[in-house]
Amino acid sequence: MSSLLFVPFALALFVFLAAALGIRALRLFSISFDQPAERLLFSSALGTILLQVLFFLSQFTGRIRTALVAILLVTGAAALFGFAEAWSDLRKIFAAPFTFSPLEKSLSALIAAALLLQFLVAMAPLTASDALHYHFAVPKVILSEGAAPNFFLSHSFFCGQGHSLILFGLAFGSEQLATGSLFLGGVLSAFALFVLAKNWLPRVWALLAVLLFLLSPLVAWQISAGGAPDLWMAFFATAAVLLAAKLRETNSWKFAALAGVLAGGIAGIKYTGCYVAAALALALLVESRSLLRTAIFSIAAVFAGIAPYLRNLLWTGDPFFPFLLPKLNPAHVNAYALSYYLADTGASGHHTVLQLLRYVTFSWIDPARVGFWQFFGPIVLAFLPFLFFAVRNTALWRVTLLVWSCVGLALGVSSSMPRFLLVIYPVVLAAIVAGIFSAFDRQSKPLRLIVSASLLFFVAGSAAGFVAYSARALPAPIGLKTKEQYLREAAPDYQAAEFVNQTLAGASPSEKALVFFRHVYFLQVPYLYGDPQSSWAMDPAKFRTAADWTAFFQRNSIRWVVRTSDSNDIFSDSFNSMISDGTLTPFAQTAIDNFQGMRSAGIRGRSTVAVFLVNAASGRSLSAAVPRGPENRAPLHSR
C-alpha cells in the first residue's frame, strides 16, 4: 500500500523535472508560449524526450544505476531556473477546475475516477503477455547482464527510448514505478488531447473528448495493464501536431527544430513512429513552404530519435532489425523467425482497399487477434460524416487531416494491427468530437437525442467493461491478495518460472538455462530464450545434427533445457532424440496450472514443466553444476 503513495509522488516529481527542464531548453532558444497549458504541454514533452534519450544512453555505461542518479542530478541542476515557471503553470492548471461549471465539474470527476481506477490497475503486478516477454523482460536482463546484442530474446531490438522509463523504474527496484511511468504517458496524452481540442471546442466538449479517450477499450488497457510505452508516442504526436500548425504563423526555424525533436521522440520509441515523423515533415513542408525549415525539422528529429536505430545498426547491420536484413545482409537472415515477425505484425498480409479504409477509420479488427487491446470503439466510424460540419481551411485542420490520412494509410499498408494507430488516436478523436459539436446544433432534436444517447451508451458501456476487467486486478494493489497469489492466478507461465527458479536456485551463475516458455520476465536464473519463432539465435537451419546441438550448448554455456508440454516447435523431434541418446537427462518435472491459448480467453489447464540437464562433453564433473539439496529437485506443489 505504501507504493500507492510513493509512485504518484515520484511521477509528479518526474513531470515537474521534465517541465522545468523543457522550460529551460525553450528559454535557451527563446521560444515562448502565452498559454500556461500549452507551455506546460510542450515543455514537459521536450523535457521527457531529453530524459528518455539520456536514460537510454545510460545502459551503455556499464554502471546503469550510477549513471541514472547522475542524470537526475545534472538535469535537476540544469532545470533549476525553470522550477518557478513550471510550478506557476502547474498551479494555474490545477486551480482551473474550481472555476468550472457544474457540468464541467461532473465530467472532471468522471475523468478523475477513471484515472484513479486505471492507476490502481497499473499498480497490480505485471501480467500482459508482450510486457512479460520483452517490454519489461529486456530492461531486467540489461540491468543484470549489461547492454549487449541479445539474439535469443530478439524482441530486444524493438525496445526504444520509451523503454528507458521502464529501465529507470526497475533500476531502482520498483516495477510499480515502471508501470506508473507508462500510466503517466496516458495521463499526458489525455492532457494533450484536451489542449488540442480546446482549439475547436468549448471546455465542456473538450472534457467529454478526454473522457471518451480514457474509456476507449484500447486506451484503458494500455494506460493500466498494457505494459508498453505506446501512449508516450500519442502524447508526443499530439503535441507535435499542435506545434506544426503554428509554423506558418510563427515562421520560425526554432519552432521547426522543436517540432523535429517531438517527431524524433515518437520515432525513437517504435519503428512505426517513423511514419508519424514522416507525415509531420510533410505537414511542416506544406505549412511552412520552406525546404530549409523542413531540413532543420529533419535534422532535429534524427538527433532526438536515432539512438535505438544506431544501436541496431552497430549490433546487427540493420537499423530496423530484422526487416531490412534480407536486403542488407541476406547471409545472416533467420528465415524461420523473420516469417513469424512478418506474420505477427501483419506485414506479410495482403491489404485490400476496403481494409485500408477500415483501418484509417479505426474500424478494422484483425481477425487473428480479436480482443479489446485492438479495439478503439465505434466513435470514429460512427461520427466520421460529422467532420463535414467542422473542417475549416485552417493550419490545425490541415495538419490534423494530413497526419491522420498519411499515418493511417502507411500503417494500413505495412501492418494489420489496429493498435498501432494509437499514436494518432488523440488527434483523430479530438477532430471527431469537434465534428459532433459542430453538427449538434445544426441537427433536429431527434438526431441530437440519438447522438447523445450513443455517446452516453459508449461511456456507460466502456466504463462498465473496464470496471469488470479491473475487478480481478484490484485485490493485489490494495493488499487483499499477495503478489504471488495474484500472479499464480493471472500471469501466464508464472508457475513455470516459479518452478525453474526453485529448481535451479543453487546452479552456477555462469551456466544458463535454455527456456521455451514465452513469458520470461519472472525468471531469476540466467537464461536464454529458445522458441525459434521469436529467437533469432535459434535458426532451425543451423541445427541439423547432434553435433550442432552439442557445439551450441557449449558455445552458449547452456547447462539446462526447460521444456513444457505446450512446447510444440520445430525442435521437438530433436529434443526427443537427445533425451533418448542421453545428451539430455531428465532432472526435475512438475505439473502446473497455466493458460491455454490466449490469456484473454481465460481458459486454464494442466501443463507439465520439465528441466533437463545437458550432459557435459568436456570431461567436467556433472555434480559440480547440479544444484545441491533435495529442495531444489523436488517438484513444486501443483496448484
Residue 457 backbone dihedrals phi, psi, to 5 degrees: -65, -40
Alpha-carbon distance values, 266 to 371, 394, 550 (Å): 25, 25, 44
Q: pLDDT over 90 for what percent of the chain?
A: 76
Average pLDDT in the chain: 91
What 578-586 contacts at long range (C-beta under 8 Å, 24+ apart), as own/partner pairs, is 578/546, 578/549, 579/612, 581/546, 582/615, 583/546, 583/549, 583/550, 583/614, 583/615, 584/612, 584/613, 584/614, 584/615, 585/612, 585/613, 585/615, 586/610, 586/611, 586/612, 586/613
pLDDT level of residue 399 (50, 70, 90 thresholds): very high
Average pLDDT over residues 610-632: 55
pLDDT, tens digit (0-9, with 9 covering 90-100), for 355-374 = 788 889 988 777 666 776 77
CA gap 115, 223 in Å, rounded: 9
Query: What are the grid coordinates assigned to 497, written together?
Result: 518460472
Strand segments (E) across 410-533: 512-515, 527-529
Residue 249's region, left for phi above 0, alpha for psi from -120 to 50, else beta, is alpha
CA gap 107, 211 in Å, rounded: 8
Alpha-carbon distance values, 272 to 158, 223, 279, 417, 518 (Å): 11, 19, 12, 11, 24
CA gap 304, 41 in Å, rounded: 18
Asked whether residue 240 carries a pLDDT value surpassing 70, the answer given is yes
Average pLDDT over residues 62-75: 96
Asked whether residue 433 carries a pLDDT value surpassing 60, the answer given is yes
Residue 114 backbone dihedrals phi, psi, to 5 degrees: -60, -45
Task: Please tell me the predicted confidence (pLDDT) of residue 348.
Answer: 60
H helix or E strand, kind and range, residue 593: strand 584-595
Q: Which residue has the cell 500507492?
A: 4
Question: End-to-end CA distance of the chain, in Å?
Answer: 27
What 538-542 contacts at long range (C-beta under 8 Å, 24+ apart), as own/partner pairs, is 538/152, 538/334, 538/337, 538/571, 539/334, 539/335, 539/336, 539/337, 540/336, 540/570, 540/571, 541/334, 541/335, 541/336
Query: What are the grid coordinates assigned to 597, written together?
Result: 491459448
Average pLDDT over residues 177-185: 97
Q: Which of 521, 518, 574, 509 is CA-nearest to residue 548?
A: 574
CA gap 14, 59 in Å, rounded: 19
In terms of Cβ atoms closer than 10 Å to its own Cβ (0-12, 13-18, 19+), residue 143 is middle
- Radius of gyration for the alpha carbons in the chain, expressed in angstroms and rounded: 26
pLDDT level of residue 626 (50, 70, 90 thresholds): very low
Task: Please tell me the predicted confidence (pLDDT) of residue 636.
Answer: 36
Q: Which of 383, 439, 494 is CA-nearest to residue 200?
A: 439
CB atoms within 10 A of CB 115: 18
Q: Say if residues 613 and 562 touch (Cβ distance below 8 Å).
A: no
Read out DSSP for 243-256? HHTTHHHH--HHHH
Q: Does a cis peptide bond (omega within 30 degrees of 0) precede residue 97?
A: no
Task: Please tell me the predicted confidence (pLDDT) of residue 628.
Answer: 42
CA gap 367, 355 in Å, rounded: 12
pLDDT, tens digit (0-9, with 9 covering 90-100), for 507-542 = 888 899 999 999 999 999 999 999 999 999 999 999
SS3 416: coil
pLDDT level of residue 418 (50, 70, 90 thresholds): confident
- Kindly give the pairing relationship between strand 584-595 and strand 558-564: unpaired
pLDDT, tens digit (0-9, with 9 covering 90-100), for 404-416 = 999 999 998 888 7
Q: Say if residues 257 and 298 touch (Cβ distance below 8 Å).
A: no
| 49, amino acid identity | I
In terms of Cβ atoms closer than 10 Å to its own Cβ (0-12, 13-18, 19+), residue 121 is buried
| 14, amino acid identity | F
pLDDT level of residue 248 (50, 70, 90 thresholds): confident
Q: Which of 14, 72, 1 is CA-nearest to residue 44?
A: 14
Read out DSSP for 158-209? G--TTHHHHHHHHHTT-HHHHHHHHHHHHHHHHHHHHHHHTTTS-HHHHHHH
Angle at 276 between CA 71 and CA 213, to 5 degrees: 85
Q: Strands across the sheet with 584-595, in order? A: 527-529, 512-515, 558-564, 604-614, 584-595
CA gap 134, 499 in Å, rounded: 20
| 203, amino acid identity | R
**Low-confidence winner among 47-61, 433-447, 519-533 (lowest mean pLDDT):** 433-447
Q: Say if residues 427 and 196 touch (Cβ distance below 8 Å).
A: yes
pLDDT, tens digit (0-9, with 9 covering 90-100), for 476-496 = 999 899 999 999 999 999 999
Give me the helices (H) in 198-316, please. Answer: 203-215, 217-224, 230-244, 247-250, 253-267, 273-288, 291-305, 307-316
| 340, amino acid identity | Y
